Amino acid sequence: MPEITERVRSLISQLPDHVELVAAAKGRTTREVQEAIDAGVETVGENFIKEARAARETLDSPFKCHFIGRLRAHDVRTSNLALFDMVQSVDSVELAVRIDEKLATPGRTMPVLIEVNSGREPQKLGVWPEDAEELVRQVATLSHVRIAGLMTMGPLMAAREAYRPCFAETYKLFIRLRDLGIPGVSMDILSMGTSDSYEIAIEEGSTMVRLGTTLFGPR
């Protein structure tokens, strides 16, 4: 599948230096993911524990693994958390506390991103922007969870330009929270932008993009 290699190399050459690429591997074979890593991908984003475990057990090259999907309470186990270098989708105190508790015994700290529902869509996960500061302050008190920034999905739009207001608002929130200097909060990462929106996201301040179709092609 040389087209994956070509897509990855082309994309990496185009991204600004300050923007980190996460290969969104949902539904992709380990062979496809291995090719992306061989082409230069350093971080793989997984939506499912089963696929993350398969990647860890199968892939030859070292890589960072981020959980980018919905993390259900019953999946928050010490053995599952060991698969990941970051959890990008923390949207409640309850989830953060469960992660904190499971990491207490191994004495490990997990970097997390607070997921913001920038489109204020009631059917989707994520804290609404106006409630984000309170959540950040509560999660920041935990011993084994470290907030490294924010993540947003943004609503599915017909036109790329329509994403801009949501990304712009999330960036303003990111800067405001960073400037508050909350202890235990670094606010270094703003993860926003997928294959249909990453260019707008970068223009609006994203420091991390999660790309699937752009790298791997259609499923």
Is the separation of the CB atoms in 6 and 40 below 8 Å? Answer: no
The pLDDT, as a whole number, for residue 1 is 57
How many whole angstroms separate alpha carbon 63 and alpha carbon 118? 29
For the segment 134-154, what is each residue's pLDDT rounded down to a tens digit?
A: 999 999 999 999 999 999 988
* Domains contained in the chain, number: 1
Evaluate whether 135 touches 92 at the Cβ level (below 8 Å): yes
Q: In what helix (H) or strand (E) does residue 210 lie, and over which residues does it extend?
A: strand 208-211
Cα–Cα nearest to 111, from 90, 80, 92? 90
- State residue 154's pLDDT score: 80
CA distance 88 to 70: 9
Of the pLDDT bands very low, low, confident and very high (cuts 50, 70, 90), residue 66 is: very high
Map 62-112 to HEC letters: CCEEEECCCCCHHHCCHHHHCCCCEEEEECCHHHHHHHHHHHHCCCCCEEE
pLDDT range class, residue 157, cuts 50, 70, 90: confident
CB distance 92 to 65 below 8 Å: no
**What confidence category does residue 167 fall into, taking pLDDT thresholds of 50, 70 and 90?**
very high
pLDDT band of residue 109 (cuts 50, 70, 90) is: very high
CATH number of the structural domain spanning residue 122? 3.20.20.10
**Which structural domain, as residue segments, surrounds residue 123?**
2-216
Query: pLDDT-based confidence at 111, cuts 50/70/90?
Result: very high
Per-position DSSP letters for 2-49, written without gaps between them: HHHHHHHHHHHHHS-TT-EEEEE-TT--HHHHHHHHHTT--EEEES-H
Compute the average pLDDT of residues 53-60.
95
Q: What percent of the chain has pLDDT over 70?
A: 99
pLDDT digits (tens, 9 = 90+) for 190-201: 999 999 999 999
